[in-house]
Chain A
């Protein structure tokens, strides 16, 4: 079916507000990844899921960042008490199986701006 989708595509928020970013992976893909990408840089790994299990969250910058994938499909990345340094492109990707050997398909990203 369709590729990876993310919403919203753009989010502008004020410092201190909470934001929730949504990712809808390709149907049937087991693994889902969250990345943050600064302009002119490669994707920076945040966390990934196999089905609903969060396998690795070592890339989350601090405890204001959290992610869930409760039914093994759609995932939400939540940033609490946003700060200006959180402004970035947040990308989601999915793969048929795990990250070791499988191609990742990236979504269009959510551009987050914290004022």
Chain B
């Protein structure tokens, strides 16, 4: 079967760095997405990793290790507007897509 684990909640301070981890199990893994979802709004795309390594995009970076079934989302220079849920989602070669339950990130001033 397929399974995704990510922490339920995290708290960090404005201006700091936070790393949100995601571990997964699936057959025929293809790629891994990160989405951001503010309360009451629709999820929006942040990043996509298919190869091992780090993908950097401004203040946000995403890392993937296929052999370890592990990814993380790194958020730098945190801003209050980064308070949101962060969803890890994977796809496999059968075109299955599964979302994790999301990590609620609270930013303190």
Interface size of B by Cβ–Cβ distance < 8 Å? 24
The segment from A14-22, A68-76, A80-88, A100-108 that touches chain B is A100-108
Q: Evaluate contact between A42 and B96: CB separation under 8 angstroms.
A: no
Shortest C-beta distance, B97 to chain A (Å), equals: 5
In the assembled complex, which residues on chain B have CB atoms less than 8 Å from the CB atom of A56? 95-96
The A contact surface, by secondary structure, is loop
Jot down 11 A-B pairs with beta carbons below 8 A, ordered by A.
A40-B104, A43-B87, A43-B99, A45-B96, A45-B98, A55-B95, A56-B95, A91-B43, A99-B95, A106-B43, A106-B44
Q: Which residues on B are within 8 Å of A, measured CB to CB?
A: 30-31, 33, 41-45, 48, 50, 87, 89, 91-93, 95-102, 104
Q: Which residues on A are within 8 Å of B, measured CB to CB?
A: 33, 35, 40-45, 48, 55-56, 91, 98-101, 103-109
